[in-house]
Amino acid sequence: MRLLLPLALLLSFPLTAAMADSPRPTILRIGLDHSYRHSTTLLLSSDQPFTLTDPLNNHPIAHGGKSVIYKVTALPTGITLARVDDLNDTPITAGLSALSVLPGGAEFVKIARLDSRPLGSKGLPWHRYRGFLTVRREADSTMRVINTIPLEPYLYGVISAEIGSHVPIEAMKAQAVAARTYALKNLGKCSKDGFDLDDTTRCEGYYGVEGETTLCSASVDDTRGQVMTYHGQLIDAPYSTDSGGVTACDTNGDCPYLCAVRDADPTDGREYADTGKYHTWSQTFTAAQIEALLGRDPRTHVDKFVSLNLDGLDASGRIVRATVTGADGTLHTVTGPQLRQILGYDVLRSTRLTLTRTTDGSYRFDGRGWGHGLGMSQDGAVAMAGPRYHKTYLEILRHYYTGITLVSIAALPKEQTARRGF
């Protein structure tokens, strides 16, 4: 299903003076999967007049005044739309495959997930988003919500979701440049789902207006349009919570700017993220537990489990492979990241770890850091920008992404900022 974009309306939204003087902004489609995936009943509204349209043809379906509420329900026969008046529904239309809510004089629209909640429930979780929202019915008769928004206002809602809203401004600026670069490089990553990126850990965290603060927005505005390149090419710019003392390296050699960098101050040798919650951690499994966890995945399932062994480390000290052995001699080998996926991302918090077989036959993993470790360590960036080191955002980025140059989006060839997969 191809949806039409009312871009003329989108680009007419109030923008900062800096944005008004810049080239036409990149428009993103963000799948709001974190909060609204598989929803069945949603409420739509705004603090100013708004319009509901059919995104297949951009024809208006209904208009709402200030704080008017519409209810959207997914049924096997399609999406139904009703106006809510004093907790009563007035049907508007039915059988829709999708609908969009467009703000009028407001800068944002509001959405709440109702599902099984009574309509008059207290504390209904309304969330606001800039740009406009499209609600689409899925094959399983649930709904998916997509936020269409220019790049810079999108980043306002990314900073707090990714690095937090109570960190030094230079760390926020580093996050803004990394997130902007990542978004542009990965345009269309989720094209099979009908949007560019989502708001989960698969792409980038994103809270919408609820995540915006004065400092978060300032970090975006102060770095407006800045992205990282390597030899003139837009880089991929991954980042994670804590590198564990050494950043991960790109073992394929496709990203030479992602090197194993010691994540510590060169003067005092102190690791930047040494006070992080999971800078060091340990996790122990009994033999029965490890057998059950490995047995549930076909990549590591053997009829009679004998052992799990780690096979080699890369330049950053992360495990390259893990081998599961069965009683009949069957061997199954997976990569380090695959083993982490199988055992659980919040169990093996990184692949920078060692494995010890204890005397009672248990498996003890002693690890460092949290996340894949590629690119910027967010905890490290916060420490670098803090009162101990006073690093600028450019110094932070150059530390984590080797040999990069900061340029304006306007200086990039158009093919480097084109949406992919649509």
Question: Confidence band (pLDDT; 50, 70, 90) for 14?
Answer: very low
Beta bridge partners of 242: 370
- Asked whether residue 417 is assigned to any structural domain, the reply reads no
| Final residue belonging to a domain, choices 113, 129, 151 | 151
Give the pLDDT of residue 300. Answer: 96
- Asked whether residue 82 is assigned to any structural domain, the reply reads yes
Beta bridge partners of 51: 63, 102
Exposed, middle or buried, 344 (CB in 10 Å: 0-12/13-18/19+)?
exposed
Biggest CA–CA distance in the chain, Å, is 71
Mean pLDDT, rounded, for 201-214: 96
* Whole-number Cα distances in Å, 299 to 308, 314, 325, 349: 13, 22, 12, 20
Average pLDDT score, the chain: 92
Q: Give dist(CA 281, CA 128) in Å, integer.
A: 37
Per-residue pLDDT for 10 more than 60? no
Digit-coded pLDDT (tens) for 311-326: 989 999 999 999 999 9
- Asked whether residue 14 is assigned to any structural domain, the reply reads yes
Give the pLDDT of residue 414. Answer: 84
| Final residue belonging to a domain, choices 135, 151, 167 | 151
- Asked whether residue 290 is assigned to any structural domain, the reply reads yes
Digit-coded pLDDT (tens) for 54-109: 999 999 999 998 889 999 999 999 999 999 988 789 999 999 999 999 998 778 99
Strands 376-377 and 239-240 come out as parallel
Give the pLDDT of residue 11. Answer: 46
Q: Give dist(CA 294, CA 338) in Å, integer.
A: 11
Digit-coded pLDDT (tens) for 235-249: 999 999 999 999 999
| Final residue belonging to a domain, choices 344, 368, 392 | 368
CATH number for the domain that contains residue 54: 2.60.200
Digit-coded pLDDT (tens) for 39-61: 999 999 999 999 999 999 999 99
**pTM as predicted:** 0.92
Strands (E) in 244-352, as ranges, are: 280-285, 305-313, 319-326, 331-335
Kindly state the helix (H) or strand (E) to which residue 176 belongs, with its residue range. Answer: helix 169-185
Mean pLDDT, rounded, for 249-268: 94
Nearest to 111 by CA among 237, 13, 214, 208: 208
Question: Confidence band (pLDDT; 50, 70, 90) for 18?
Answer: very low
Per-residue pLDDT for 28 more than 80? yes
Per-residue pLDDT for 22 more than 80? no
* Whole-number Cα distances in Å, 412 to 131, 151, 230, 258: 25, 15, 12, 21
Give the pLDDT of residue 17. Answer: 37
Mean pLDDT, rounded, for 18-24: 47
- Asked whether residue 93 is assigned to any structural domain, the reply reads yes
Residue numbers of the domain that contains 28: 7-151
Digit-coded pLDDT (tens) for 285-340: 999 999 999 999 999 999 999 999 999 899 999 999 999 999 999 999 999 999 99
Question: Confidence band (pLDDT; 50, 70, 90) for 19?
Answer: very low
Give the pLDDT of residue 6. Answer: 61
* Whole-number Cα distances in Å, 234 to 81, 186, 247, 292, 408: 43, 10, 20, 43, 11
Per-residue pLDDT for 147 more than 90? yes
- Asked whether residue 231 is assigned to any structural domain, the reply reads no
Give the pLDDT of residue 261. Answer: 97
- Asked whether residue 398 is assigned to any structural domain, the reply reads no
**Coil, strand, or helix at residue 166?**
coil
Q: Give dist(CA 118, CA 334) in Å, integer.
A: 47
Number of domains the chain is built from: 2
- Asked whether residue 302 is assigned to any structural domain, the reply reads yes
How far the first Cα of the chain sits from its last, in Å, is 11
Give the pLDDT of residue 416. Answer: 85
Mean pLDDT, rounded, for 341-359: 96
Give the pLDDT of residue 252. Answer: 85
Digit-coded pLDDT (tens) for 112-130: 999 877 776 667 889 999 9
Exposed, middle or buried, 378 (CB in 10 Å: 0-12/13-18/19+)?
buried
Mean pLDDT, rounded, for 159-170: 97
Give the pLDDT of residue 296. Answer: 95
* Whole-number Cα distances in Å, 188 to 75, 197, 242, 279: 29, 7, 27, 33
Nearest to 273 by CA among 383, 166, 170: 383
**DSSP, residue by residue, 26-43:** PEEEEE-HHHHTTBSEEE
